[in-house]
Amino acid sequence: MSSSVPSDRPIRIDNLQFVQPGTQSFSDWQAGGLDAVHITIAYHELFREMVSKVIAWNHWFEHQPKQIFHGRSADDVHKARASGRTAVFFGFQNPSPIEDDIGLVEVCHALGVRFMQLTYNNQSLLATGCYENQDTGLTRMGREVVAEMNRVGLVVDMSHSAERSTFEAIEHSVRPIAITHANPAAWFPAKRNKSDDLLKALAESSGMLGLSLYPHHLLDGTNCTLESFCQMAADTAEKIGVQSIGIGSDLCLGQPQSALEWMRSGRWTKIRDFGEGSADAPGFPDQPKWFQSGADFNNLDNGLKAVGFNEQERAAVLGENWLRFYEESFSPA
Amino acid sequence: MSSSVPSDRPIRIDNLQFVQPGTQSFSDWQAGGLDAVHITIAYHELFREMVSKVIAWNHWFEHQPKQIFHGRSADDVHKARASGRTAVFFGFQNPSPIEDDIGLVEVCHALGVRFMQLTYNNQSLLATGCYENQDTGLTRMGREVVAEMNRVGLVVDMSHSAERSTFEAIEHSVRPIAITHANPAAWFPAKRNKSDDLLKALAESSGMLGLSLYPHHLLDGTNCTLESFCQMAADTAEKIGVQSIGIGSDLCLGQPQSALEWMRSGRWTKIRDFGEGSADAPGFPDQPKWFQSGADFNNLDNGLKAVGFNEQERAAVLGENWLRFYEESFSPA
């Protein structure tokens, strides 16, 4: 563990990253005191393709056992904390890995997957993505899959879903759901950010919001200031309660352009889709200077302090809230 | 638990069955006092196809939780014993589910698979099956996969493999291997039965032999007597030690003819292969009268007693030996 992180500090969790695995990323996590990171392993992959991503991570678990291991339970976060490592939790940003087979929900849970978005940006078999013109809510299969996810302990994540679909997921799910990486639209009205009404419904159902550090979700993008971000966090805590807020940085680091194009266009279009980018700016946006890597959780701690979060509140936002959510969410019902 | 089985009896395990899942099979297991059964879930299936077999079993685990559950560790056998249920362990009779991808070994272990044959009857990517004319031993990939199986805790099973390949697997594996379902060729020289030299090498390396009740492996086939089978068990114990012997009945019950044809011909031939059967007798052979279902473990107990096995020896052969093997085999190295 980095000497800059006191050994009696609270648990820290980044509940959404899509960084390229490697010793640099893992060292950054340790420097930022991250005991757990939720990593995206699928955007458009079918089941067998997703399994190849699991295998790629298994390579790193085998070869860097002093830095990381595969996290499956809240206990693993404590285990990571005690051994100075980071527990890596798997998630999907699309239900494509379950194909059209509800039986794959339980199989994915057995493989250690703990979060699954019901949609990426488009309509899925389960619900509607935030880029569609019409939002028809949960589909027939969507309702069945949410019930099965509830049963096995796979968290419903609606970060990229459209509003009605998200309200219906909150309503239909008997366990709290998550929006792992998004910000309030009241702060910055990106298509991916969420209305206050939705965030209130999320929090009232004991759901969690992971605040995003992805420039396209930030006021002023790459030039967003730490103060602006942290003031937004304070305003959000005011609206929905500090207990419902964590970090899901959406940090994309060390990924090739092809990974971004796969995220955006998958195999669903023959015409290049630019997603939140544009033809003029087709690449990954630059991160703000104060959040360049997992190590910069220390900056977030300072920034939250500066806008008035006390020690306990900072601990809650930077990890303890997600830890409580993990405790309640990952075991079979 | 059936009232015919005393509650203080030792652990019983059938370490190979291919029965159709259903309440009849599960009741038979309970009547026979079976705390654990190793079930074949793949003959020629590729990875994704095998996962559908896992899903089919998950259906039964969900709907018959008072009779069965998915076994993953030796502790689960005790858990089954304590709750009057049967723990079901998964295995493959062919390495087809790992395709050409060594990374799938660990993934299959994560899905709860605990045994994998390096070959079915034919040459595989890993070794040579017992029906080939030439036995070239372990392949390059075979040696790598055995090492990986050793690492993750997936047992090498050579029941259907040719002799040289089996000797090489015993030699190359750093953990004991199994022949889960076969008999000594000295008793009945079927192609699938094993030489005394091979069985001695197996036992000297702490490996296990599961004695088979499949008629094609029995002297006089369907008409084999309980006494003949149990005397063979006694002779085998004399040769290689009682600690190396268990039961792997190879019981195929309630399966349609199409399952038998899939076992024998898979997709590897366009001409129908009859395996151990023949054009005149293409179906599953009839079981001996004294071993019709899992319930007939009680007959085996009586038969072993009649040929001189004492109580401790019968307990060892009918389950405790496999339990010890499970304890040593299923965890990562």
Residues A269-307: tens digit of each pLDDT: 999 999 999 999 999 999 999 999 999 999 999 999 999
B112/A111 Cβ within 8 A:
no
Model confidence at A218: pLDDT above 90: yes
| Amino acid of residue A137 | G
Residue A82 tokens read as 């005690």
A47/B103 Cβ within 8 A:
no
Model confidence at B61: pLDDT above 50: yes
Q: How far apart are CA B59 and CA B52, in angstroms?
A: 11
B111/A59 Cβ within 8 A:
no
Q: Distances in Å between the alpha carbon of B93 and those of A262, B39, B120, B145, B271?
A: 37, 10, 6, 15, 21
Rounded mean pLDDT, A84-94: 98
A110/B112 Cβ within 8 A:
yes
| Closest by Cβ to A110, choosing from B52, B59, B111 | B111
Residue B156 tokens read as 């090498």
- pLDDT score recorded for residue A3: 43
The distance of B110 to chain A (nearest Cα, Å) reads 6
Residue B308 tokens read as 């001189």
Q: How far apart are CA B294 and CA B251, in angstroms?
A: 8
CATH superfamily of B13-329: Metal-dependent hydrolases (3.20.20.140)
- pLDDT score recorded for residue A9: 84
Rounded mean pLDDT, B27-52: 98
Query: In the predicted model, what is the mean pLDDT of chain A?
Result: 96
The distance of B291 to chain A (nearest Cα, Å) reads 34
| Closest by Cβ to B58, choosing from A51, A58, A103 | A103
Cα-Cα-Cα-Cα dihedral of A93, A98, A100, A106, to 10°? -130
Confidence at B62, pLDDT banded by 50, 70, 90: very high
Cα-Cα-Cα-Cα dihedral of A310, A314, A320, A325, to 10°? 100
Query: In the predicted model, what is the mean pLDDT of chain B?
Result: 96
> Can you tell me which residue has the tokens 């272990």?
B109
Confidence at A7, pLDDT banded by 50, 70, 90: low
Chain B residues contacting A via beta carbons under 8 Å: 47-48, 51-52, 54-56, 58-59, 101, 103-104, 106-107, 110-112
Q: Quickly count: other Cβ atoms within 10 Å of residue A56's Cβ.
A: 12
* pTM of the predicted model as reported, rounded to 2 decimal places: 0.94
In total, the C-beta contacts within 8 angstroms joining chain A to chain B are: 43
| Amino acid of residue B17 | Q
| Amino acid of residue A306 | A
Question: What are the φ/ψ torsions at residue A88 (nearest 5 degrees)?
Answer: -105, 120
Q: Name the nearest CA neighbour of B281 among B192, B193, B224, B221.
A: B221
Confidence at B9, pLDDT banded by 50, 70, 90: confident
Model confidence at A6: pLDDT above 90: no
Rounded mean pLDDT, B124-146: 98
Nearest CA in chain B to A70: B110
- pLDDT score recorded for residue B8: 72
A110/B52 Cβ within 8 A:
no
> How many residues are present in chain B?
333
A-chain residues near B112 (CB < 8 A): 110
Rounded mean pLDDT, A217-243: 98
The distance of B319 to chain A (nearest Cα, Å) reads 28
**Model pLDDT for residues B230-268, shown as the tens digit of each residue:** 999 999 999 999 999 999 999 999 999 999 999 999 999
- pLDDT score recorded for residue A317: 98
Instruction: Work out the widest C-alpha separation in chain A, in whole angstroms.
Output: 52
A-chain residues near B101 (CB < 8 A): 52, 55
**Model pLDDT for residues A318-328, shown as the tens digit of each residue:** 999 999 999 99
**3-state DSSP assignment of residue B203:** helix
Nearest CA in chain A to B97: A48
Q: Quickly count: other Cβ atoms within 10 Å of residue A77's Cβ.
A: 23
Rounded mean pLDDT, B126-145: 98
- pLDDT score recorded for residue B7: 57
In chain A, alpha helices (H): 23-31, 47-63, 74-83, 103-110, 140-152, 163-172, 196-204, 226-240, 257-265, 297-306, 311-315, 321-329
Q: Vertex B73, ends B42 and B255: CA angle to 5°? A: 30
B47/A48 Cβ within 8 A:
yes
Could you give the percent of chain A with pLDDT greater than 70? 98
Cα-Cα-Cα-Cα dihedral of B220, B222, B225, B229, to 10°? 80
| Closest by Cβ to A55, choosing from B48, B54, B107 | B107
Rounded mean pLDDT, B293-302: 97
Rounded mean pLDDT, B318-324: 98
A-chain residues near B107 (CB < 8 A): 51, 54-55, 58, 111
Model confidence at B165: pLDDT above 90: yes
Model confidence at A130: pLDDT above 70: yes
The 10 Å CB-count burial string (b at 16+, else e) for A127-158 is: bbbbbbeebebbbebbbebbebbbbbbbbbbb
- pLDDT score recorded for residue A2: 43
Nearest CA in chain A to B108: A111
The answer to whether A70 and A112 are in contact (CB under 8 A) is yes
The answer to whether B80 and B70 are in contact (CB under 8 A) is no
The answer to whether A117 and A192 are in contact (CB under 8 A) is no
Cα-Cα-Cα-Cα dihedral of B318, B319, B324, B326, to 10°? 130
Element spanning B325, H or E: helix B321-329
**Model pLDDT for residues A244-271, shown as the tens digit of each residue:** 999 999 999 999 999 999 999 999 999 9
Mutation to test the B interface, candidates A60, A105, A107, A108, most B Cβ within 10 Å: A107
- pLDDT score recorded for residue B209: 98
